[in-house]
């Protein structure tokens, strides 16, 4: 056995579905990694992938990450992910998203989707016209501020581990990508007194960060080599790779992006260079916690933030185990998630 079936068997995937709609030209994939703890929840992203294989690989990698993220956050959810092949700047239309919604509906509730890179809340409303298995849209609002809140708390745990204090005042933080999550995160960091360096493909967002928070603007390729205390990737996956790794001049890598390490070996490489890595699916779980509260009808913002704030404690415990067991943080995170993936979750909200 080789190819995707071999990968599915090795990583215990339940299902990978490829979709095509002749009328709209929709080309998409949905990957379901696990439904042991509950339905597979994961966003749908739209991206101009170079190949079909790249799109399916991305869906599978992200779906597995969602399983681990939900399990580690003790949510009654499995993990899945949807990808639509196309340019989010020019290929969007209501008919295409409705066609995708019909594909989601055919999954019979095994997959629940939400917004992700390239898919906005307005797009979710089009998907909702064809299926109820969607969380988000204009009436709910974006989970991005909640993701950013959790990442901020997680960065504090990292700072305590490396610098002896969770206080971020005076620390220099380089933020790669200042979309909706990155912007909200920059606000938290700046309000605590951190000094910001920012880069983004959209220069208007960079200019906004300079104006609002006094950030230092650098080019997209220059952000990796900035002298800083913390490097915070908040864009696409694979930020830490063979090109970027030698350039890093920081002691912590902690951000909102998924699949920060292009390959597992780069986690060990960070450790060898004395750089602490916060496993992405632990630190960026705030958004999915908000989504699950919303799915179950929970609307108490204070309660949601209290739950998300537990990310700080989870990372502290993870780093403690990492030190004591002399294993990488991401290895400990995987052990925790895999243990919980085997358990069925009976409930989430109390009261």
- Annotated catalytic sites, by residue? 81
Contacts of 96 (CB under 8 A, 6+ apart): 21, 24, 25, 26, 84, 86
Residues near 286 by Cβ (< 8 Å), separated by ≥ 6?
A: 143, 146, 147, 148, 149, 150, 151, 153, 308, 311
Question: Cα–Cα distance between 179 and 183 in angstroms, integer?
Answer: 6
Contacts of 83 (CB under 8 A, 6+ apart): 28, 29, 44, 45, 46, 47, 49, 55, 56, 58, 59, 62
3-state class (DSSP) for residue 221: coil
Sign for the pseudo-dihedral over CA of 110, 8, 81, 89: negative
80 close to 41: Cβ distance less than 8 angstroms: yes
C-alpha to C-alpha distance for 30 and 81, rounded to whole angstroms: 6
Query: Do 50 and 40 form a contact (C-beta atoms < 8 A)?
Result: no
């Amino acid at each position: 056995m080789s190819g995707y079936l071999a990968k599915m068997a090795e990583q215990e995937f339940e299902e990978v579905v490829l979709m095509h709609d002749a009328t709209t030209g929709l080309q998409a994939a949905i990957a379901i990694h696990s439904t042991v703890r509950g339905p597979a929840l994961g966003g749908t992203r739209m991206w101009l992938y170079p190949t079909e294989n790249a799109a399916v690989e991305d869906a599978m990698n992200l779906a597995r990450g969602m399983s681990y993220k939900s399990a580690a956050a003790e949510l009654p959810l499995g993990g899945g992910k949807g990808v639509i092949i196309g340019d989010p700047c020019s290929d969007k239309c209501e008919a295409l998203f409705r066609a995708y919604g019909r594909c989601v509906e055919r999954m019979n509730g095994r997959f629940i989707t939400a917004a992700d890179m390239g898919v906005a809340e307005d797009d979710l409303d089009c998907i909702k016209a064809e299926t109820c298995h969607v969380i988000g849209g204009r009436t709910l609002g974006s989970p991005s501020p909640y993701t950013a809140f959790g990442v901020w708390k997680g960065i504090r745990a990292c700072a305590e581990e490396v610098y002896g204090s969770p206080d971020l005042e005076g620390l220099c933080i380089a933020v790669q990508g200042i979309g909706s999550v990155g912007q909200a995160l920059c606000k938290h960091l700046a309000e605590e007194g951190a000094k910001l360096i920012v880069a983004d493909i959209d220069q208007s967002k960079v200019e906004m960060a300079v104006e609002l928070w006094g950030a230092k603007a650098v080019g997209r390729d220059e952000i990796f080599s900035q002298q800083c205390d913390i490097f915070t990737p908040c864009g696409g996956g694979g930020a830490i790779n063979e090109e970027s790794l030698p350039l890093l001049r920081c002691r912590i890598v902690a951000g909102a992006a998924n699949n920060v390490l292009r390959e597992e070996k780069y986690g060990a490489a960070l450790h060898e260079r004395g750089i602490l890595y916060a496993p992405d699916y632990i630190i960026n779980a705030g958004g999915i916690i908000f989504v699950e509260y919303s799915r179950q009808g929970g609307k108490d913002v204070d309660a949601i933030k209290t739950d998300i704030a537990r990310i700080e404690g989870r990372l502290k415990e993870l780093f403690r185990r990492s030190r004591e067991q002399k294993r990488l943080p991401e290895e400990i995170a995987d052990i925790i998630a895999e243990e919980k993936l085997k358990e069925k979750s009976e409930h989430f909200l109390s009261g």
